[in-house]
Amino acid sequence: MNIFYYDIAVGLPIRQCFTYKSPVNIKKGKRVVVPFGKKTLVGVVVRKISQPNSFGKSGAIKEIISTDEEFVCFDKSIFNTILWASDYYHHPIGEVFFSFMPTILRKQSNKTITSLNEISDYEVNESNKSFKLTKEQELSLIKLKKIKKFKPSLIYGVTGSGKTEIYLQLAEKALKENKSILVLVPEINLTPQLVTRFKDRFKGDIGVYHSRLTPNQRFKVWLRSKFGEIKIVIGTRSSVLMPFENLGLIIVDEEHDQSYKQSEGFRFSGRDLAIKRAQLEDIPIFLGSATPSLQTLKLVQEKKYKKFDLLRRIDGKKPPKLIPLDITDSPLIGGMALQTMSIIGETIKKGEQVLIFINRRGFAPLYECDNCGWVASCNSCESNLVFHKSKNRLICHKCESVYRINKACPDCLSEELNVHGSGTERVEDILSTAYPKVPIIRVDYDSTRRKGSIEAIYEKVHNSEEAILVGTQMLSKGHDFPKVTLCIILNADGGLISPEINALEKISQQLIQVSGRAGRNNNLAKVIIQTRYPNDLNLKQIKTGDYQLVANQCLNLNKSLSLPPYSSICILRTTSSNPKSSLDFLNRASLTLDNRNGISLIGPLPSIPLKIKGNIRNHLVIKSPTKTYLNRVLKFLIKEFEIWPESKKVKWSFDIDPYDMS
Ligand code: ADP
Ligand code: ZN
Ligand code: ZN
């Protein structure tokens, strides 16, 4: 009897595969069940090996229990993208496989899994295409449609310039060639709008895939897509490796968006994985944005990507400029200056809508004793509690712990407790008192958590005449609000003067994205930014609304300072219950890398906040001239960690191409 040996990855945080044997010839990428200690686990076949070497004698090697399905779970290009990702992000391979496996497949089951036989046909709804393309759309589409192989394209289009129309026409072409389409969006809340646009254009099923669906719903989409029963899937970063029968193109909408980067666990970038996948499948990929990332713009400069400009809105107008409103000497009511209040009043009187952007949820960020200065803070995080009026509770935004409101100060027993500062709830509160008849619509994490809530909110906005929308960054992204003619930006100063190395890129994207929400089809739209730094040099550039100008400046600066995208960064992060262990580990890492050619280090530093859920957090920034060199250095470092006593006392992780630098 023939015996075959296989390296199997299991879904555990272990940086290695395990060798098993089987009399059956199994393809790589297949799901198997294997004995593991006293348990049995689901694993994935990574490779067939000729001679087992990991455990010496072949007798000690255990046998694979089952290889249930007929189908290969991870086809070649997806499989190879996963191997690449595990290597690039230095993340345990089994966990990477499991990240892209529907939850139902991560467990053992007795059911036979096959295709569902619910095949969808597609047809173009021609009546949905009644308008003539703009010159810019037409010129771009002619060229974009000619791209047949892997050559990433940036569709640089100001908000409202008709990017989505371009996606629809590219999708139409792919469908006609019997190919499938993957569309990625950065956030769940952006899916309904795009799904509606696709449904209006194409008769046929559109698969939707994100974390707010049940495991069964997601599994169904996964199966139908894998077996070619549906040809269009729209989803968040978790759908980047969705299997398709004949994938023809990938669209990454709002490619610059921070939400493509997973912020914990396996910290991958959905956009970058999409690009890798497109490269391995040799298919076109289209990155769309009004404020592209510096990384993408650099690759355009180097002619590795092609750029297509849509610089005018559909109505031919340029997007509105930003008007700074100096609030240095103004008293603020709930964060708003009197002048701001009066212009809001004028706008709604005209039956128009106002959008207020404030990057803070809850009612007020501080709950304080006016007598002694005590501030309510979380017991397990180094973080002040935020007052939520709707719940009448104090909430920690780092760990979501909920606290009752103190009647008296725990330090001095005074009852002079007060809230300070403002968030979305407070702005909503003040405006609903000032304008009791006007719908005030709050859009933040708290108001959109429930399934279907974002759809209800958008419907209310679209059905109202005058209305005021108050929201966090959620409001600044991708959504169309045709009746909004005034945007107000509160509280952006923190971003303008932040010392973070990617601060200017972040704040300019955010401000230009918010401005983009105002006055589509409206000449008179205004965007006002309240600030104490009206003469700030960066603000002067951002306010022109010309993102390319700001981005070029960022690129030049980062080039001269050898910052990303002209170098590569990894943040080595630690958490530990013991502050000394955390620093000992990072200090040793820092000493080890100190003399390495080309590597520069910042830290060890305390992370912000220093403590979350009782754990102390620190980090070391590691900068390398290239990605390849960084990868080599990190591999060396992992080998070192394996033998250090210091690494046993901390939980460490790498954050490659970090978005959050603190
Ligand atoms: P973007 O994705 O760049 O924000 P959209 O594609 O959503 O822009 O276009 C904005 C609006 O203009 C949509 O309602 C869309 O249907 C409409 N639109 C797109 N292209 C045209 C066109 N050529 N003529 C008229 N309306 C258009
Ligand atoms: Zn007190
Ligand atoms: Zn907390």
Q: Does residue 282 have a pLDDT over 80?
A: yes
Ligand index nearest the alpha carbon of residue 373: 2
Centre of ligand 2 to C-alpha 122, Å, is: 67
Query: What tens digit of pLDDT does each residue of 415-432 get?
Result: 999 999 999 999 999 999
Q: Above 80 in pLDDT, residue 111?
A: no
Q: Answer whether residue 519 shows pLDDT above 70.
A: no
Instruction: Give the C-alpha separation, 229 to 636, whole Å.
Output: 45
- pLDDT for the residue 660: 87
Which ligand is in closest contact with the Cα of 400? 3
Question: From ligand 3's centre to the CA of 399, what distance in Å?
Answer: 4
Residues 210, 10, 247, CA angle at the centre, nearest 5°?
45
| pLDDT at 600 > cutoff 60 | yes
Select from 314, 514, 517 the residue to mutate for testing ligand 1; criterion: most ligand atoms less than 8 Å from CB: 314
Alpha helix segments (H runs only) across 415-452: 424-434
| For range 36-62, the mean pLDDT | 81
Alpha carbons within 13 angstroms on the beta-carbon side of residue 501 total 22
- 8 A C-beta contact, residue 580 and residue 634: no
* Percentage of residues of the chain with pLDDT beyond 70: 98
Over residues 549-559, the mean pLDDT reads 94
Identify the nearest ligand to the CA of 384 by its number.
3
Mean residue pLDDT of the chain comes to 92
Q: Measured from the CA of 137, which atom of ligand 1 is nearest?
A: 23
Q: 212-241 pLDDT, tens per residue? A: 899 999 999 999 999 999 999 999 999 999
Residue 378 tokens, joined: 């979380």
DSSP class of 626? S
Residue 555 pLDDT level (bands cut at 50, 70, 90): very high
Mean pLDDT of 338-366: 94
Q: Which atom of ligand 1 is nearest to the CA of 133?
A: 23
From the CA of 413, the nearest ligand is 2
pLDDT at 75 over 80: yes
Q: How far is the CA of 165 from the centre of ligand 1 (A)?
A: 6
Q: What is the pLDDT of residues 442-454, one digit of tens each?
A: 999 999 888 788 8
pTM above 0.75, yes or no: yes
Residues in the ligand 1 pocket, defined by CB under 6 Å: 131-134, 137, 157, 159-165, 314
Looking at residue 521, its pLDDT comes to 57
Residue 417 has a pLDDT of 95
* Residue 55 reports pLDDT greater than 60: no
Give me the domains of the chain, ranges plus CATH numbers.
4-106 (3.40.1440.60), 123-310 (3.40.50.300), 321-364+421-555 (3.40.50.300), 568-656 (3.30.70.600)
CA of 382 to the centre of ligand 3 (A): 7
14: number of Cβ within 10 Å: 13
- The number of the ligand 1 atom at minimal distance from the alpha carbon of 197 is 16
Classify the phi-psi angles of 23: left when phi > 0, otherwise alpha if psi is within -120 to 50, otherwise beta.
alpha
Distance CA 524, CA 602 (A): 47
Q: Residue 112: pLDDT band by 50, 70, 90 thresholds? A: confident
pLDDT score, position 481 = 84
> Which pair of tokens denotes residue 474?
């959620």
Distance 170 CA to ligand 1 centre (A): 15
- Asked if pLDDT for residue 58 goes beyond 80, the answer is no
- What's residue 4's pLDDT? 93
Helices 294-301, 547-560: crossing angle, 10 deg rounding: 80
Range with lowest mean pLDDT among 379-393, 424-438, 488-502, 558-572: 488-502
Is the confidence at residue 59, as pLDDT, over 70?
A: no
For residue 160, give the DSSP letter. T
